[in-house]
Amino acid sequence: MSYISKPVARHPGQKKNSLGLTARDYEGGMSTLCAGCGHDSITAALIQAFFELEVPPHRVAKLSGIGCSSKTPAYFLSASHGLNSVHGRMPSIATGANAACSDLTYVGISGDGDSLSIGLGQFAHAMRRNLNMLYIIENNGVYGLTKGQFSASADIGSKSKRGVPNRFEPIDPVLTAIAMGGSFVARSFSGDKQQLVPLIKAGMAHKGFALLDIISPCVTFNDHDGSTKSYKYTRDNFTEVTHADFVPPAQEITIKYDQGSVQPVTLHDGSRIYLRKIAEDYDPSDRSSASAYIQSHQEKGEVVTGLLYMNSDAPDMHATNQTVATPLRDQDYSVLCPGADALKALQHGYR
């Protein structure tokens, strides 16, 4: 008995990208999550983003921890290497993987439990190192897989299914990321593909740690009245402060922007983000004011979304380490081993 079914054709259209691949080639195994789970919408957005970005699937490494959310990597890009690690420890796996090979695309999928409780330390320190990866938190305010306990992202007053309100201060992934040195910090909603897909693309193109916190309702344990992570609550309180459009390298800009409100940001790979401010008084390039803005608006119950902070100049882990361009795992052994003569010579110092 094996219950893994083949990928289901969710994209009957056969549109191909420049690699000759269809969207179906970016799909994965059939989801085993609950029908309606926000996580599955994120999967769909990821598939679309990868397809449109025209990434060769096998050049992507998908990483995760443990949780319903952490199962996501099994549901997209079945032609990629994936690693489902242990609970809360995906960031360290990503760090090591990236250290070994700098030229793959790393996407990590985690949950609010996985990243903010057991994994908080690793999450924070991966950001400190400005590890080059897209890190998605599928944030539902609960532990789905263990059946609905509050997670650290549950808001004060948000009610459990049995009606008991959470009383502990939430740990907000976005504020944490800004405080810990994340160089690309965004929030979105699983129900808003429009906003989500360009953010995924931009996060992937960003050279450094891109955090994408996605409110992703748990229909089974946290989608009721009184929950502040339900579909309804999120829709009602969704506040977009910036809108980011993503334009891949060397693509003609077709959309016309009203100059004043739009800020183009060119990334390392030549792609551009066109950042449109929706909240006038919001400045996504200023850490302290951005975080004060988000904090005060969230205190009012708003779900502040968009590309919230970005610094495309911060050196990533390899830049800080001064690692050579050719991935370490591909270095020829002759480059790594100084050989017998050198060994003989260096031992003079031990006499």
Ligand X SMILES: Cc1ncc(C[n+]2csc(CCOP(=O)(O)OP(=O)(O)O)c2C)c(N)n1
Binding site for ligand SF4 (CB under 6 A): 33-34, 37, 39, 68, 140, 144-145, 218-221
What CA–CA distance (Å, rounded) separates 106 from 59? 9
What CA–CA distance (Å, rounded) separates 155 from 49? 30
For position 127 contacting a copy of itself by CB under 8 A, the verdict is yes
- Cα 1 from chain centroid? 34
* Closest CB to ligand X: residue number: 111
Of 71-79, 177-185, 208-216, 253-261: span binding another protein (CB under 8 A): 71-79
Site residue total, another protein (CB under 8 A): 84
For position 333 contacting another protein by CB under 8 A, the verdict is yes
| Nearest-10 Cα torsion for 315, 318, 319, 325 | -130
- Residue 87, binding choice from ligand X, Mg ion, ligand SF4, none, Cβ under 5 to 8 Å by partner class: ligand X
Closer by beta carbon to a copy of itself, 45 or else 142? 142
Residues forming beta bridges with residue 105, ordered by sequence position: 60
Query: Within 13 Å, how many C-alpha atoms sit on residue 97's CB side?
Result: 25
Give the residue among 175, 235, 243, 244 at the shortest CA–CA distance from 211: 175
Closer by beta carbon to ligand X, 77 or else 137? 137
Convert residues 123-142 into a mask of x (bound to ligand X by CB under 6 A) and - (unbound): ---------------x-x-x
Residues forming beta bridges with residue 307, ordered by sequence position: 186
What CA–CA distance (Å, rounded) separates 241 from 256? 20
Tokens standing for residue 117: 């409780």
- Residue 146, binding choice from ligand SF4, Mg ion, ligand X, none, Cβ under 5 to 8 Å by partner class: ligand X
Closer by beta carbon to a copy of itself, 8 or else 292? 292
Cα–Cα distances in angstroms (integers) from residue 131 to residues 2, 127, 207, 238, in the given order: 36, 6, 8, 29
Assess contact for 36 and 58: CB atoms under 8 A: no
Footprint on residues 93-122 left by ligand X (CB under 6 A): 111-114
From 108, 144, 170, 182, residue interacting with ligand X (rule: CB under 6 A) = 144
* Closest CB to Mg ion: residue number: 111
- Residue 169, binding choice from ligand SF4, ligand X, a copy of itself, none, Cβ under 5 to 8 Å by partner class: a copy of itself
- The conformation of residue 224, written as its DSSP 8-state character, comes to S
Cα–Cα distances in angstroms (integers) from residue 156 to residues 98, 167, 267, 298, in the given order: 37, 5, 38, 11
Footprint on residues 318-347 left by a copy of itself (CB under 8 A): 320
Of 18-26, 258-266, 290-298, 332-340: span binding a copy of itself (CB under 8 A): 290-298
Per CB under 5 A, residues contacting Mg ion are 111-113, 140
Assess contact for 203 and 50: CB atoms under 8 A: no
Contact residues toward a copy of itself (CB under 8 A) are 117-121, 124-125, 127-130, 152, 167-172, 175-176, 179-181, 287-289, 291-293, 295-296, 299, 314-315, 320
